[in-house]
A and B are shown apart, each in its own frame.
Chain A
């Protein structure tokens, strides 16, 4: 029997599901391996249980937590899908400021309407247990395919636990630090083929960090490049990587 697979989205841009839709021919191969029962909310709630559930987006409202918990109960394997889900992603920038200020800024006069209620952003694993993570903003299609294949074969999916510098070196890029720029590559989790440094733009750790990031050393390196503490914190915060530096 093919595993039943479902996709659900929460607060996100749906860019990660778009990556799946963009698989083109390969999508047929995926459909041959798995039974896609929920995709893009079209069929929400119809299948009672799922073998593999992908959760896209971060959790930003109390009612979403309930919905997620219900999905978790009905899922054998639950995978956080994309940066919004794995780390909270860009949505977590909101948590750095007062919630009321944020709401007023975004919703203006309507900020206090009940349907626009919002809570501090959470990553999926802050609400329910997550079995596997597919990092990235957006996710990497090849990584998605390899996770699907591994699960279909009953293998434990392996995601990179080494930093972006590895992939950057293997592509023989000029290091951005040698070009007077900065980059979080040494502490950021790989899996994207170092796409940003390969295009001369510093990594912002959209895939989160490696399991034991040496943040002090990163701080020191950035400080040596004359970055102020504020600039360092900014460098770290795009994708909710706690800088752990004091102002």
Chain B
């Protein structure tokens, strides 16, 4: 990994030039009292000093709703795949979200490759940033280890007047040279390491992710699931905001003429009551407690067992989004430990 640096002023200039070059540039912007990823129209909109965005950046690779193919009704050979575009550059991704993208990269390339995801993903350069503000629900440090570096092209680290840059990939190298970033002065990597450690997580998982997987091993029938589920709305907010969730539903929509149609996929989530409903009206996760248990097992056990990667990256969005205030994986694990 190379260490480079750039003044904040020059970085903004670079972003402005990128926008002017008519490339689609996405970054973190203010949204009311919160933050969101959005297409930048001016470099001033970019807000890298932020808590956490409402939705994670995966929405650019796995859109909330996307058309997979178009067809003429009744003509089996008529279908044609459609591919959406993704931004050229996404700026401001926190390490947790970066680790989540690494997981999506992995799962969408396993077996039958998901070309809709992978095409978009290949098109984008990802510029990360280490958090500059604490977010009360975040616990990424205890979950992600080095996963973020499997997806990031480069990471920014706030050094006051400058950004330190960790250059990770070839794409990262290219963009760093496009910014006219300079090779770091002596001691830059120590400075970067110090700055990265400055913002501490306010909560943390009491286990490493390996330990967590083992800990959950015999917790399937723990009374906590049912108890906690009494407060659950099955509203799905906790999974819809989660950067590591990749479930979707597929639906055909035909035009009013009934002559042509589109196959679309849209986000879905296992906390919704009818998610596991199958033909014959059977629901294999009928109870809210079963769904809550499934979610935590998926985040804390199944994914780590299958891929050796974090199924939960500790971004804290679920805790923030849950109106009932019961979704925090840390709180749940603490209860299971009692």
Residues of A within 8 A of B (CB): 26, 29-30, 32-33, 145-146, 149, 152-153, 161-163, 165-166, 169-170, 172-175, 177-179, 185-187, 210-214, 216-218, 220-221
Task: State the main secondary structure of chain A at its contact with B.
Answer: helix
Residues of B within 8 A of A (CB): 31-34, 36, 54-55, 64-65, 230-237, 240-241, 253-254, 256-258, 266-267, 269, 272-274, 288, 320-321, 323-324
Report B-chain residues with C-beta under 8 Å of the C-beta of A161.
273-274
Contact partner of A172 among B54, B234, B273, CB < 8 A? B54
Check A177/B256 contact, CB under 8 A, given A165-B235, A172-B31, A172-B36.
no
Report B-chain residues with C-beta under 8 Å of the C-beta of A169.
54-55, 236-237, 240-241, 321
Alpha-carbon distance between A116 and B316 when the two chains are bound, in angstroms: 58
A170-B65, A174-B31, A216-B230 are known; give 10 further A-B pairs, CB within 8 A. A32-B256, A166-B237, A169-B237, A169-B240, A170-B266, A172-B36, A172-B55, A186-B233, A186-B324, A217-B232
Are B33 and A179 in contact, CB atoms less than 8 angstroms apart? yes
Check A170/B230 contact, CB under 8 A, given A163-B236, A177-B323.
no
Alpha-carbon distance between A186 and B240 when the two chains are bound, in angstroms: 13
Are B324 and A212 in contact, CB atoms less than 8 angstroms apart? no
Shortest A202–chain B CB gap in Å is: 12
Are B33 and A170 in contact, CB atoms less than 8 angstroms apart? no
Interface pairs A-B: 9 shortest CB-CB:
A29-B256, A186-B233, A165-B235, A169-B240, A186-B235, A170-B64, A174-B32, A217-B231, A163-B235
Check A153/B240 contact, CB under 8 A, given A174-B32, A217-B231.
no
Are A166 and B256 in contact, CB atoms less than 8 angstroms apart? no
Contact partner of A187 among B34, B233, B240, B257, CB < 8 A? B233
Alpha-carbon distance between A207 and B237 when the two chains are bound, in angstroms: 19
Report B-chain residues with C-beta under 8 Å of the C-beta of A145.
256
Report A-chain residues with C-beta under 8 Å of the C-beta of B234.
163, 210, 212, 214
Report A-chain residues with C-beta under 8 Å of the C-beta of B231.
214, 217, 220
Are A165 and B237 in contact, CB atoms less than 8 angstroms apart? yes
Report B-chain residues with C-beta under 8 Å of the C-beta of A30.
256
Alpha-carbon distance between A64 and B288 when the two chains are bound, in angstroms: 41
Shortest A26–chain B CB gap in Å is: 6
Contact partner of B256 among A33, A173, A213, CB < 8 A? A33
Shortest B107–chain A CB gap in Å is: 21
Closest to B59 in A: A172
Are A162 and B274 in contact, CB atoms less than 8 angstroms apart? yes
Check A170/B267 contact, CB under 8 A, given A30-B256, A149-B258, A211-B273.
yes
Closest to B269 in A: A166
